[in-house]
Amino acid sequence: MTLSIAFTSLKGGVGKTTTALNCAFAFARRGTRTLLVDTDPQGAIGLSLDGVSERAGLAASLAQGRELPEVVKTRLPELQILPMGYVDTLAIDDLSKCARDNDILRRILDRSQSEYDAVLFDTPAGLGGMTRLALESVESVIAVAQCEPLALRSLPRLLDLLAQLRDAGDACSLLGVVCNMSSFRDPVVLASLEELWALYRDSVFDTAIPRDSTFLQASRAGVPLGLLSRRAPAVAAVFDSLAAEIEGRLGVQEGGEDDGPIRLVD
Amino acid sequence: MTARSVSWTDAASVAQLLTRASSPRRNAGHSFGSAGSVALARPIPPVAPALAPAPVAVAAAVVPRAITVPPPSRLKSQFPAPRLVQTSDNPSDCLDALLAWTLDHQRCTGAFIADDNGLTLAAHGISEAHVSLVGPLLSALVSVRMIPGIDATAGALWLGDNMMSWVETRNERGGFCLGTVGSEPLSSRAFEQLKDALEITVRRL
């Protein structure tokens, strides 16, 4: 069964796209056939990756009433991307309605059943429009929380929406809260971290994503952290840890039923 | 002014929301690649551990993921220290074990582990000021090591109220630093022990 996960936050700028992108890369590196779907009308995934921003994607498919768009293949055979593509600014409000009318996210998930092990959705900030559609379509939701007061204050709103959707019969469930841009150097960030742990306890992933200038370098280059240089920066490994935790929470066993050594040559 | 929580959120309502918004965790059993192709896990690169917070003064309800640290009465009682033995393959557990061993067996009140970017990987009992020193300190030592014959992979810095001591070592992923803060500098023997413990740990990262 294909896993479906949405990376979500009410507040913008918390690092949803960066987290989704690097998690998708980490999943693929672990051998998981992964599709990363951009549901953000701003096309955040496309803007994050060199070579993707000009590609047509979901938006063009919806606008032209075409079949599901072609995915973008990547250097990793296990990772493919479905970008949003260009969305006319005046048409942004219509996008989510059109996507809902076409039931496009569920269709993507249906088509993915035989092709992917995991489908990861990057969502726009906020809880309406495409975000809500994604939440209604997926099974698991990862709340991305920047370690700062506004992000913490907005987190219950996401939980409330999830609770309401579940009450209404949707399958979405909070898989966990990942804290982003953590740092010991700022007392407010530290206080936010401590409060996040205190309030959300086991829901918070053990892996916290640190504030690190390497993210800016990767953004500038338009690549996932793991491809920033031939020797991946140390912080890239944080996403290996997070991917392993996500798999653990989803009950995924690495390498199938027998989690022992795997022969290189059959 | 009354001190107010950062989140302006009460724990009871969050707990209630978490219950309503979450499903019970799945048991292990599902595996990727069940649709046909075999999803063999690629060699997974060494995992950098999550940041472990320095347990500073927090409200009673706050339960940060703190490292298990022996009670003060046990501290430094077993000097000289037994050699560190790492039993776990989990990098995060290894770092926690190193930190606990350091606090247990060295004359210090706090300790930290950082990488050569100054990124703190684990810490206990050190202040933010100490943490902020790590990056600049390690950067400064890079130029010191350019002087022929100078190893400079261990040292101590007088901070006025206390001393910061540290050792460094490298593996193929880069440099790692183990530091302590205490009322006095560490002995040469302690430096050797710290370096040995750090090397044992870094081999597993």
Interface predicted TM-score (ipTM) of this complex, two decimals: 0.86
B186/B40: higher pLDDT: B186
Q: What percent of chain B has pLDDT over 90?
A: 9
Task: Please check the confidence at residue A12 and state whether its pLDDT lies above 80.
Answer: yes
B204/A7: higher pLDDT: A7
pLDDT for the residue numbered B10: 84
pLDDT for the residue numbered B6: 87
B18-63 pLDDT, tens digit per residue, is: 999 997 655 555 666 543 333 333 443 333 333 333 333 333 333 3
Q: Note whether A251 contacts B25, CB cutoff 8 Å.
A: yes
State which residue of chain B sits closest to A264, comparing Cα positions: B40
> Which of chain B's residues have a Cβ under 8 Å away from the Cβ of A225?
none
Domain range summary for chain A, segments of one domain joined by +:
3-250
What value does the mean pLDDT take over residues A58-65?
A: 87
**In what order do the strands lie in the sheet containing B163-171?**
B120-124, B110-115, B174-182, B163-171, B154-158
Q: What is the rounded CA–CA span in Å between residue A23 and residue A121? A: 11
Q: Does A150 touch chain B (CB under 8 A)?
A: no
Of B27, B128, B174, the CB nearest to A187: B128
Q: What is the rounded CA–CA span in Å between residue A88 and residue A171? A: 32
Domain range summary for chain B, segments of one domain joined by +:
92-202
What value does the mean pLDDT take over residues B88-95?
A: 84
pLDDT for the residue numbered B30: 61
pLDDT for the residue numbered B26: 58
Which segment of A181-190, B13-22, B99-108 scores lowest on mean pLDDT? A181-190
Q: Note whether B32 contacts A160, CB cutoff 8 Å.
A: no
User: Looking up tokens 């261990």, which residue turns up?
Assistant: B154
Q: Does B50 touch chain A (CB under 8 A)?
A: yes
Which segment of B101-105, B130-134, B153-157, B193-197 scores lowest on mean pLDDT? B130-134
What value does the mean pLDDT take over residues A227-244?
A: 91
- Chain A: closest CA distance from residue B129 (Å): 8
A-B contacts (CB, under 8 Å): 193
Identify the architecture of domain B92-202 in CATH.
2-Layer Sandwich (3.30)
Query: What single-letter amino acid sits at B33?
Result: G
Give the H or E element holding residue A38. Answer: strand A34-38
Task: Please check the confidence at residue A247 and state whether its pLDDT lies above 90.
Answer: yes
> Which of chain A's residues have a Cβ under 8 Å away from the Cβ of B26?
249-251
User: Looking up tokens 């810095």, which residue turns up?
Assistant: B157
A165/B142: higher pLDDT: A165
Q: Which of B98, B112, B101, B119 is nearest to B48 (CA)?
A: B119
Domain A3-250 CATH class label: alpha beta
What value does the mean pLDDT take over residues A95-111?
A: 93
What value does the mean pLDDT take over residues A44-68?
A: 89
pLDDT for the residue numbered B28: 53
Q: What is the rounded CA–CA span in Å between residue A103 and residue A117? A: 21
